[in-house]
Each structure stands twice: as structure tokens, then as C-alpha cells.
Amino acid sequence: MIKQAIIPLAGLGTRMLPLTSVTPKELLPINGKPNLEYILEECLEAGIKQFIFIISKKKQNIKKYFYNDKFYKKIIKKKKDKRIENEYKKIKRYRSMIKFVYQNKPKGTGDAVLKCNKHIKNNFFLMLLPDDLIIKKNCTKEMIKLHQQKKGSVIATKKVPKKTVSRWGILSLKNKKKNYFQITDVVEKPKIKDAKSNYAIIGRYILPKTVLKEIKKLKPGQGREIHITDAIKNLIHKNENFYGSIFKGKYLDCGTLDGYINSSIEISKE
Ligand code: G1P
């Protein structure tokens, strides 16, 4: 079973300035709820029992969000407001499931995963990128089902317009079925002319623990960062099974200002 989810949260959020100069982008509200809570809810519903948050010194506010007891206790004592009490309970429940680790230099998703090294217990774990919200249908649940069926690793994927392939990790594939396919290769942000398909990686991964060993061998890649994509590529070349899960839900990109504004509009329609 997939019990642990790791969530990289150390990015600086520069694409969303000025909103992120004080508030971490993952705490910005989308239709009245922080971005991060959508991710946590998706995981809880899919049976995840522990979260590993990778934060940085600059993103301490994320930890504070879950550890602001003094503040809550004082308000609850004074106001006796049921809604606040329930919110506090919810936050404490999440907190009991979260471990915090630090990545003080934003050196990429691969480097972030490596920081969780000693906490990863099972043979497979989930990783979610909080810039990518998926609504309407639980993507993590679909992926876990495919993982159980195939006993391999799973990456969430969706078709993107050909002209945008250079913004994503792009998959090569074989044996395509209705909702999934086998991944034969992956390239981080290829040039349009080099892209082997227009199936893009969306930020949900079920990865084998062995990926940690692969990451340690990597040299910085695209943008001088250590990419999880490159470690995955090496595992695929060693014949590890990876599947692309063509998820049914609606994908919302919350990592840019325009995307963030659009996500709020889309979610408010639900
Ligand atoms: C990351 C991954 C990329 C993936 C994307 C999905 O890129 O490196 O492979 O397609 O997330 O959102 P980033 O958005 O950090 O540039």
C-alpha cells in the first residue's frame, strides 16, 4: 500500500510575486481554502497516512500554519466559535501526520526527494507537486489503483498542446490503453521538435524507493537543477516498470499568476 506522500514546498514562488513575497504560494487561498489543503484532502481520501513536507528556512510560515496553538487557544477561549474550533481540530489532525524536512537551497525536485531519504519506509511512495491541482476526480486514488494492478511505478499524465511541450516533462509510450500506457522514456522540457509525444507529466508520482539511489548519481540537468525526471529516466532504462495514468479529473495549474486566478474561478464553479 502507498502510505507516505512527500510534498516539495521549498520553491521561492517567484512566478507569483508579489503575492508570495510574504505568504508561501501553497498557503494562498483558492476559493476560501489554502492551496495545500486541496492536496492534503486528495491524499487523505486516497488512504495516505503520513506526509513529509520539504520546506526551507524562508518557508517557515508553512510550519507555523500547523503549529499556531497559542493563537488558536486564546481565540477559542475568548470567542467559543464552533467554526474556529473545527478548523483548529482539522489543523491538529494534519499536523499529527506531517514530518518536516529542510531543503534550504532550491536545487530541484530530485534534491528535494533526497532530503526525505531516512523517512521513506516502504518500497513505493507518493510525491505531489502542489502547483498542480486536480479536481472533480481523485487522481491519487486512480494512480494507487493502477499501481496495485501493475505493481509498478505510476506518473500522472495528460495530453497538452504540442506548442507547450517545452514547459513539461514529456513521456514516450507504448501499449496505450484507455486510461494508461507503459512509459518507455521521459525527457524534461524538450524542444518542440524533439518531443516524442504530447503526454506531459503532471505533478503526481508513485515512485520506488530505489529512485533515491539513482538521484544520488545524478549531475545537475536542465536549469542546473537535480530533476526527479532524470532519475526516473535512468530507472526506465534499467527496465523498471513505469506507467502513465491518464487521469480523469480536471487539471488546474496554480504555479503562475494567471493559472492561480483561473483556478479560483474554476473551483468556485464546483
Ligand atoms: C515539474 C516537473 C515536470 C512536470 C511539471 C508538472 O516542472 O519537473 O516534469 O511536467 O512539474 O507541473 P516545474 O513545474 O517545476 O517546472
Per-residue pLDDT of the chain (270 residues; tens, 9 = 90+): 899 999 999 998 999 999 999 999 999 999 999 999 999 999 999 999 999 999 999 999 999 999 999 999 999 999 989 999 999 999 999 999 999 999 998 899 999 999 999 999 999 999 999 999 999 999 999 999 999 999 999 999 999 999 999 999 999 999 999 999 999 999 999 999 999 999 999 999 999 999 999 999 999 887 889 999 999 999 999 999 999 999 999 999 998 999 999 999 999 988
Report how far residue 58's alpha carbon sits from residue 52's, in angstroms, rounded to the nearest whole number.
Answer: 17
**Ligand 1 near 188 CB (within 6 A):** yes
pLDDT given at position 121: 94
What is the number of alpha carbons within 13 Å of residue 245 lying toward its C-beta? 27
Q: Which domains does the chain have, with CATH numbers?
A: 4-268 (3.90.550.10)
Q: Is the peptide bond before 190 cis (omega within 30 degrees of 0)?
A: no
Strand 29-30 relative to strand 33-34, pairing:
antiparallel
User: What's the CA-to-centroid distance between 26 and ligand 1, angstroms?
Assistant: 16
pLDDT given at position 1: 87
User: What's the CA-to-centroid distance between 226 and ligand 1, angstroms?
Assistant: 12
**Ligand 1 near 129 CB (within 6 A):** yes
Q: What is the residue with the minimal CA distance to atom 6 of ligand 1?
A: 202
Closest by alpha carbon to 157, among 203, 195, 123?
203
Report how far residue 127's alpha carbon sits from residue 46's, in angstroms, rounded to the nearest whole number.
Answer: 13
pLDDT given at position 80: 86
User: What's the CA-to-centroid distance between 204 and ligand 1, angstroms?
Assistant: 10
Report how far residue 164's alpha carbon sits from residue 161's, in angstroms, rounded to the nearest whole number.
Answer: 6
pLDDT given at position 113: 97
Ligand 1: nearest atom to the Cα of 109: 8
pLDDT given at position 223: 82
Which residues face 70 on adjacent strands?
A: none
Ligand 1, pocket-test mutation among 14, 35, 188, 201, most atoms within 8 A of CB: 201
Report how far residue 243's alpha carbon sits from residue 261's, in angstroms, rounded to the nearest whole number.
Answer: 32
Ligand 1: nearest atom to the Cα of 11: 15
**Ligand 1 near 158 CB (within 6 A):** no
- Other Cβ atoms closer than 10 A to 105: 9
User: What's the CA-to-centroid distance between 125 and ligand 1, angstroms?
Assistant: 18
Ligand 1: nearest atom to the Cα of 203: 6
pLDDT given at position 270: 80
pLDDT given at position 22: 94
pLDDT given at position 106: 85
